Structure 1
């Protein structure tokens, strides 16, 4: 129940108020209208409490049990399950999987507390806790967090400081490819009626190279088919230097062609206009240019129909 001002009153407190008000009216002769006004309850509610007290005594004013099934887990047990789901994977809890599912959570509850609960109930419980099914990101086991931290706190600040001294622009570069049959995501539709999207039946790929600066400058190169090698990467660097017009510090990942002999010779022949630096291994999250491909493949462009000519 809520008071007129919107404040919610718990069952125990409301029970105490009902009994006290009813006794004052029936036993002590208090004015019901004045009590209702003073306490902020409606006149009808106060008179109803008094009548219930006359008819059935104090027991008639006791708080009724909250409807619904009783909780199977205590608050402490629920907290323990929530903590496990947030901090551990199933294999760390001696299951043969790495992703939490409703039936695995059900089995976890049964194992820890001997409590049987349905998968549907587990799903409702997880949603009440603010959880939802999500596709996890992956991280290479070879990743060295100490190296990643040194890159962020030591190496990159030095690169940025040196770039400022010589007047160079710092770019982060990366490569990706996309196909004309790229799956752009899902769409809402009536159950059992899978929608059909028209697009080209030709399977072609587009090779994409880009470099983005901290100021948001974006340079890119597209090539139909093929793969990136030293020759393609050098061509991209040549165009980047031409477009930028100044000195460039290009930060890329550790793929072999970024540091090939041919690339080194090209860099040496730029008279200091181009320098190439390398990210910490297995740390794509430290490369802002990854967001370019996220936008292309997932967020925006990838959701558009590719390769469809409206005139066809």
Structure 2
């Protein structure tokens, strides 16, 4: 089982379920084992049912390995040498007709949430986080364009004392011509680095996005644009005052590569 997907062994299952293991035992040993017995053996062998991690089929494992083993360490070394700060960024959005979480109700009586289908609004935001717990963010309601991205980049470098090495995904806007021209003109203040394609699990900003969505959607549904904006700003502003909470994002095994405390040593005491 370990190191193989069921389909590699001609088992018609996406994951190693009890039924899949039962089929494997019959296939390899010619033994028809009861499903309950299979479950008992799995438990004894140290296996438990778990929710699978989702990974893009298009992701290139070699590119991820290159990033973890060479590219990011190189960025980190340069940051230490040049006295630069490292941060990662991402874009996300919230809709007024979305709702997160669960609520208690009598068994068989599903709870209801009343959402407007006529006055739906969406608010987007772009954010930057560092492993020191720093957050910068900007809200926007338009389509994500190079102009929007450049506005945020201008804000990122405003009043900075150190150069910024900023890491984002490979969204076409991040690679746009206008953005590249602007970066060339501001190379003393900021450099942009791109994560491997289809690798959101390497970006701690994904956890910030989830944090914001959970915080906003756990409240009663937003009824208008102004209320949605206020709630997003309120939650992000709260997180700005909780750097330890942001640092915890970097404790996840997939993000641990970026949790180096080196940057703290660069800040004058």
In the superposition, the TM-score normalised over structure 2's length comes to 0.69
1:67-86 alignment runs, 5 A limit: 84=1, 86=2
Matches within 5 A, 1:24-173: 84=1, 86-112=2-28, 113-118=30-35, 129-145=46-62, 147-173=63-89
Which 5+ residue runs of structure 2 have no aligned equivalent?
Answer: 225-269
Aligned to 1:217: 134
**Cα distance, 1:230 vs structure 2:** 1.1
Q: Distance in 2 between matches of 1:154 and 1:184?
A: 38
After superposition, give the CA deviation of every residue in 1:107-166 in whole Å (9 maximum; x if it has no partner).
334444422424x66556656655124143223344132x32332233223322323343
What's the secondary structure of 1:175's corresponding residue?
A: strand
Counterparts of 2:220 and 2:47 in 1: how far apart (Å)? 34
Residue aligning to 2:246:
none
Question: Cα deviation per residue 1:66-93 (whole Å; 9 max; x = unaligned)?
Answer: xxxxxxxxxxxxxxxxxx2x44322122
Q: Secondary structure at the match of 2:132?
A: coil
What TM-score results when the alignment is normalised by the length of structure 1? Answer: 0.61
Gaps of 5+ in 1: 1-83
CA deviation after TM superposition for structure 1 residue 297, in Å: 3.5
Q: What is residue 236 of structure 2 aligned with on the other side?
A: none
Going from structure 1 to structure 2, the CA distance change for 1:296 and 1:121 (only over 3 Å counts) comes to: farther
Shift of 1:100: 3.5
- Aligned: 1:176 with 2:92: yes
Higher RCO, 1 vs 2 (CA within 8 Å, ≥6 residues apart):
2
C-alpha offsets along residues 188-217 of structure 1, whole Å, 9 cap, x if unaligned? 433211111344443322212111112111
CA distance in 1 between partners of 2:111 and 2:38 (Å):
31
Q: Cα–Cα, structure 1 residues 248 and 92, in superposed 2: closer, same or farther, change >3 Å? A: same
The 3 A distance-change label for structure 1 pair 110 and 149 is closer
Secondary structure of the structure 1 residue equivalent to 2:12 = coil
On the 8 A contact 1:251/1:276 being kept in 2, the answer is yes
Matched, 1:191 2:116: no
Q: State the aligned residue count.
A: 222
Cross-structure match for 2:204: 288
1:295 and 1:302 in contact (8 A); partners too: no
RMSD: 3.0
Change (3 A) 1:241 1:139: same
Question: Using a 3 Å threshold, how does the CA distance of structure 1 residues 101 and 154 change in structure 2: closer, same or farther?
Answer: closer
Q: Check if 1:205 corresponds to 2:122.
A: yes
Note if contact 1:207-1:222 (Cα within 8 Å) is conserved in structure 2.
Answer: yes
2:194 counterpart residue number: 278
